[in-house]
Homo-oligomer: A and B are copies of this chain.
Amino acid sequence: MTTQAPGHTRLRVTRAGIDTYQQPVVYMHRDCEVCRSEGFAAMTRVRLDVGARTLVATLNVVVDDRLGLDEVALSEAAWTLLDPMPDALARVRHAEPASSAGALRAKVFGARLDDAQYLALVQDVMESRLSDLELAAFVTASAGDRLDNAETTSLTRAMIAVGQRLDWGDGPVLDKHCVGGLPGNRTTPIVVAIVAALGYRIPKTSSRAITSPAGTADTMEVMAPVALDLAAMRRVVEREGGCIVWGGNVRLSPADDILIRVQRPLDFDSDGQLVASVLSKKIAAGSTHVLIDMPVGPTAKVRGEAAAHSLGTRLAHTAGALGLQLGIHRSDGSQPVGRGIGPALEAHDVLKVLRNAADAPADLRERALALSAALLDMAPGSNAGTGLERARGVLDSGAALAKFLAICEAQGGFREPPRAAFTADVPAPASGRIAAIDNRRLAKLAKLAGAPTSPTAGLETGLRIGDTVERGQPMMTLHAESPGELAYALEHAATLQPFVLGEVP
């Protein structure tokens, strides 16, 4: 035993080479002096001090000789957060409870929290002072309608406060957002092209897929670079009026990106957290007028009238409190949009619409026009009711296509989307009339074929509710980048049948 007081020993900081997603984890040897003197065990929350930098992380304990006794090894997330110098030494001790632990506890026990409490919570989320278990508790305690309107606004305000915020000077800044759940509903690139072609500013940030076969950022990425930083994004918008970039590099509402790591696996809907997520990103992006596309259908994200009303009211309340003009466009969420599901397949649909191709999917075109029209009609100074005509004008004339290509060039260069090397048709198991389509199963099949990791993977189908099929006729075509993945998806196509067949009337 040493006579040095524990807690004064420094450990060498090394890289563990382990990806634990966004949760910072550190590894120390079971027999390391600091573990023993501090009474550390696996899952202890520890604090590292390296010079003036601090990191709070969860401890995993190494029990064999792969780690030295004088070493603290960092997971990839911990390494990125601490960003240590070579040969750095760390002091490691018990982490103090997060300052927002009291607010979290109060929320778990049903209290309403105020602005200051949500700000403390979100700051601790940002600094990884809350463990994943505590984040899970926060998500659980916010599930359903457990945040009221005032709390939703407080959370939104806090999420804006901890990130960057763009200022575009005078004039309206338009944006649109889809609450999701509809495969192939890739209207964003078309809407941005139309609205920017008409001279409006529309700086769109999009997400990659979280649980779906493609996010807008994934689809856009097969046509142009999307991982722009804030300065590059600003240059694109200043030049072309619009952009379609991935939100992950611009750090608008970054707390949201951290919460997603527990929201995704738990998958508990929370209207309050959904609204805070969407509106914080829009307000941080400097938007003044936002249109929400809300598909409603039994297998969409919003499943019925009551849910749509409740979510719409909450969105309107928080937008109003924070000075954002908000419109909500409800649409049919009972079946997919366009033909392709998967990043490149959806990009082909988008380009066909922009190019006015003879075989462009009519439903995608009509939805993009309707959304553009609604957004244009919201903009200050426009004559209400003229939006549709103006939108159709620039789409039909090719001005929207030209704007889209110019945006792609400004983002780093346009490229034609590739096509998968391997395809297979899935035949109808029986004859009948399509009575319903399960969007979730379609999405699942596209993912089994490799989307979005394999950008050309996914599926195509032109079938819609009311169509009749003959037994053996192809219902959809699977696309994959390897025969193995194709076989895998094909194997599941029978049990994940997305088409509900009824009698032919």
Using CB atoms and an 8 Å cutoff, list the residues of chain A in contact with chain B.
1-7, 15, 17-21, 23, 27, 30, 36-37, 39, 41-43, 45, 60-64, 66, 75-76, 105, 108-110, 131-134, 136-137, 139-141, 143-144, 261-262, 265-266, 268, 447, 450, 453, 481-485, 487-488, 491
Say whether A487 contacts B17, CB under 8 Å: no
A333 to chain B, nearest CB (A): 21
Say whether A266 contacts B134, CB under 8 Å: yes
The 8 Å CB contact of A6, one of B37, B266, B484, is: B484
21 contacting pairs across A/B (C-beta < 8 A): A2-B484, A17-B62, A17-B63, A18-B60, A18-B63, A19-B30, A20-B43, A36-B453, A37-B488, A39-B450, A45-B265, A132-B132, A133-B136, A134-B136, A134-B266, A136-B137, A136-B140, A137-B139, A137-B266, A137-B268, A140-B140
Say whether A63 contacts B19, CB under 8 Å: yes
A445 to chain B, nearest CB (A): 13
Complex-state Cα separation, A131 to B262, whole angstroms: 11
Say whether A43 contacts B21, CB under 8 Å: yes
Complex-state Cα separation, A18 to B482, whole angstroms: 35
Say whether A64 contacts B17, CB under 8 Å: yes
Q: Which B residues are CB-close (under 8 A) to A15?
A: 64
Say whether A109 contacts B144, CB under 8 Å: yes
**Known contacts A133-B136, A140-B140, A488-B7; is A268 also within 8 Å of B39 by CB?**
no
Q: Which B residues are CB-close (under 8 A) to A18?
A: 27, 60-63
Q: Which B residues are CB-close (under 8 A) to A143?
A: 108-109
A468 to chain B, nearest CB (A): 33
Complex-state Cα separation, A283 to B353, whole angstroms: 68
The 8 Å CB contact of A4, one of B37, B261, B484, is: B484
Complex-state Cα separation, A136 to B140, whole angstroms: 8
Complex-state Cα separation, A15 to B64, whole angstroms: 10
A334 to chain B, nearest CB (A): 23
Say whether B108 contacts A485, CB under 8 Å: no
Say whether B64 contacts A5, CB under 8 Å: no
Q: Which B residues are CB-close (under 8 A) to A41?
A: 19, 21
Say whether A43 contacts B261, CB under 8 Å: yes
The 8 Å CB contact of A136, one of B1, B2, B19, B136, is: B136
Q: Which B residues are CB-close (under 8 A) to A261?
A: 43
The 8 Å CB contact of A66, one of B17, B43, B487, is: B17
**A486 to chain B: closest residue by CB:** B5
A93 to chain B, nearest CB (A): 10
Q: Which B residues are CB-close (under 8 A) to A487?
A: 5
Q: Which B residues are CB-close (under 8 A) to A110?
A: 144
Complex-state Cα separation, A77 to B45, whole angstroms: 19
A408 to chain B, nearest CB (A): 27
5 A-B pairs closest in CB distance: A17-B64, A136-B136, A21-B42, A19-B61, A1-B482
Q: Which B residues are CB-close (under 8 A) to A60?
A: 18-20, 75
Q: Which B residues are CB-close (under 8 A) to A136?
A: 132-134, 136-137, 140
A486 to chain B, nearest CB (A): 9
Say whether B62 contacts A5, CB under 8 Å: no
Complex-state Cα separation, A484 to B108, whole angstroms: 39
**A64 to chain B: closest residue by CB:** B17
Q: Which B residues are CB-close (under 8 A) to A3?
A: 482-484
Say whether A133 contacts B7, CB under 8 Å: no
Complex-state Cα separation, A409 to B62, whole angstroms: 37
Q: Of residues A131, A266, A453, which shows the largest number of chain B Cβ atoms within 10 Å of its Cβ?
A: A266
Complex-state Cα separation, A30 to B21, whole angstroms: 12
Q: Which B residues are CB-close (under 8 A) to A75?
A: 60
A311 to chain B, nearest CB (A): 15
Say whether B134 contacts A5, CB under 8 Å: no
The 8 Å CB contact of A19, one of B62, B453, B484, B485, is: B62
